[in-house]
Amino acid sequence: MKVSKTPKNGTNWVKFAGLASQWAIALTILLFVGATIDKKCISYYTTPIFIWILPFLFIIISLISIIKQTKL
């Protein structure tokens, strides 16, 4: 009896199935954290920068991670 194995250069796409919900939760949390940091540092900065930087960094880092994981 043969057991079918995943191809060597194939990717298990099931692990990416819940990625949209993970992104939504992480981005929501990072927006609130960024807003909180901006409120505490309002005397130093006139424009809210952490509310933009934190989600942007998360998106870039997670996209790089996905590209590395799916690279053939």
Measured in degrees and rounded to the nearest 5, phi and psi for residue 30 equal -65, -30
Q: What is the pLDDT of residue 17?
A: 73
Separation in Å, CA 38 to CA 23, 26, 48, 56: 22, 18, 6, 15
Q: What is the pLDDT of residue 64?
A: 93
Q: What is the pLDDT of residue 55?
A: 95
Q: What is the pLDDT of residue 11?
A: 54
The rounded distance, in Å, linking the Cα atoms of 5 and 57 is: 36
Tell me, rounded to whole angstroms, the distance of Cα 8 from its chain centroid.
Answer: 26
Q: What is the pLDDT of residue 8?
A: 53
Q: Which residues of the chain have pLDDT under 50?
A: none
Q: What is the pLDDT of residue 58?
A: 96
